[in-house]
Each structure stands twice: as C-alpha cells, then as structure tokens.
Amino acid sequence: MFYYDGELQENNHIQLDINNYDWLYGATVFTTLRVYHKSLNYPLTNWQNHCDRLKSSITEFEWIMPDWERIVRESKYLLNYFSVLRITIFPDGKELIMGRELPLNLEEKQEKGIQGLVCLDSKIKRSLALHKTGNYLAPYLALQQAKNQDYDEAILTDINNNWLETSTGNLWGYKQGIWFTPDLDTGILPGIVRSMIIKNANFPIKINHWTSEFVEDLEAIAYSNSVVEIISFSKIKIGEKIKEYNPNHKAYSLLKKIFLV
C-alpha cells in the first residue's frame, strides 16, 4: 500500500518511462520518519523538520514544489497502517509515500549494540552530502562491504581516513564527559535526530572532525537516525584492528533521555 501522485495503490508497482530522469539518475529527494503515537504532530515525529529539509532541497534544485496538503492527507492515512513513512519527491512535484514497520530486531540492537566496519575507501562517499537524494549508491556499497564481512553497519571516511557518518545515520562518540559528533563541513547529512539532540541536550556536546587520533580513545560510539533513534556499537573493525566497546555505557542514558517525551 502506497501513494503515488495522489493515487492510493495497493500493490508494489509504479510505471515510469524508460527515459525518465528520476530513476536514470536518482533524481529524487526523500526523507524517512518514524511516526510516534500515530501522530504527525507528536514532537518526536519531527514532521515539520522533515518537510523543511525536503523543501530546502527542492528549492535549491529549482524543482517543482509538491502539494503539501495532499502529502499530509496521504501520510495521515498511511500512518494508520505503518510506523515508518518514506516520502520521496520527484523533480516534477510528484510524491511517492511508502510505509513500513520498525525493524524486528531493533530492541535487541539497542540493548546489545551492533558491529561496525570502517570503510577506508574514500571514493565511497555520498554525492551532494547535505541533501538526502535518491542517489544512495555509495552508502549502499559501504553497507554491502560491511555485511559481506558479517558486520552490521559501515562507517564512511574521507581521503584522510577521518570518520564521517554511517551508511544510514550520524555518528556520536563519548570521552572525558563529552559527547562529540562530526561537523557538517566534513560532508555529511544534517540528520534530523542529530539536530534534535544538539538542540535539546542538557549535557556537553562538541562538533568536530573525527581524525584517526581523535577516535582512538573514544569510550563509547553510537549512531542515530529517525527510525532507530540511538544504536551503540559493541565492536568496530578498522583495517586489521578491532576495537570493542561497552554497548551499555552509562553515557548512553544522556542520549536516550532525548527520546523520553
């Protein structure tokens, strides 16, 4: 069940011309949001922030604005059936709104942490990093590289091996009583949850560059996105080196309190 260009479809197919630029070049922008308490207005849903991010990209790309009132109506209908919505906007203003449920193993991952692989291939990086475009090949390749080695998530790096973001979210690192997150000028996505944590935190946060020297003595590492909230890393492989972390480090309670609304 999904909406495409104002029509509710109860299948898994849409029709596109084979010369359509949208799929030939990944010419779309999208956002994925977790709908709390089946309400777009609930604070943690961050509905307006998701819409504003889409509007900003559409404006910068000089695309046609979609019918936002229609998007609200369609999203409200789908949230009766799904916990997570993905809203995709095409250059001509058409919308594609799909739904899904939260990952089945989300609570287990939040409790036990996951294993990450640092992708040291700097060529694998997102294009137009400040925008969430349909061209997600680089994160996909990084994630497949991780999964092929039995790791759950990939961490992307730049030409100097500085850590940037994961294939699906923003990084958080803790040491010396401070939570750190990479600077946007490193070329990462300004995640909705990242912004929410920075805005609402009542504990120290510093924004910096994650050099090899900086990450060496981090006590705890996690990533965030709008669906999973916060997931910690229990193990990270960096080249031939493997580092282990306590997935239940007491500092995680500071981040998790942000979601207790």
Q: Residues 93-141: pLDDT tens digits?
A: 999 999 999 999 999 999 999 999 999 988 888 888 899 999 889 999 9
Share of the chain above pLDDT 90, in %: 87
Compute the half-sphere exposure of residue 46: CA atoms within 13 Å on the CB side of its CA.
27
Query: Among 3.60.15.10, 3.40.50.300, 3.30.420.40, 3.20.10.10, what is the CATH number of 106-259?
Result: 3.20.10.10
The model's pTM: 0.93
Q: Tell me the mean pLDDT in the region 159-188.
A: 96
Amino acid letter at 67?
Answer: D
Q: Is the pLDDT of residue 168 over 90?
A: yes
164: phi then psi, degrees, rounded to nearest 5: -115, -65
Which DSSP letter does residue 65 get? P
Confidence label for 49 from pLDDT (cuts 50, 70 and 90) = very high
Q: What is the pLDDT of residues 196-241, one digit of tens each?
A: 999 999 999 999 999 999 999 999 999 999 999 999 999 999 999 9
CATH code 3.30.470.10 for 2-100: yes
Q: Tell me the mean pLDDT in the region 148-175.
A: 96
Q: Is the pLDDT of residue 183 over 90?
A: yes
Q: Residue 131 and residue 210: Cα distance in Å, rounded?
A: 21
Q: Is the pLDDT of residue 15 over 90?
A: no
pLDDT score, position 123: 84
Q: Which helix (H) or strand (E) holds 121?
A: none
Report angle CA 48, 89, 134 to the nearest 5 degrees: 110
Cα 219 from chain centroid (whole Å): 23
The domain spans of the chain are: 2-100, 106-259
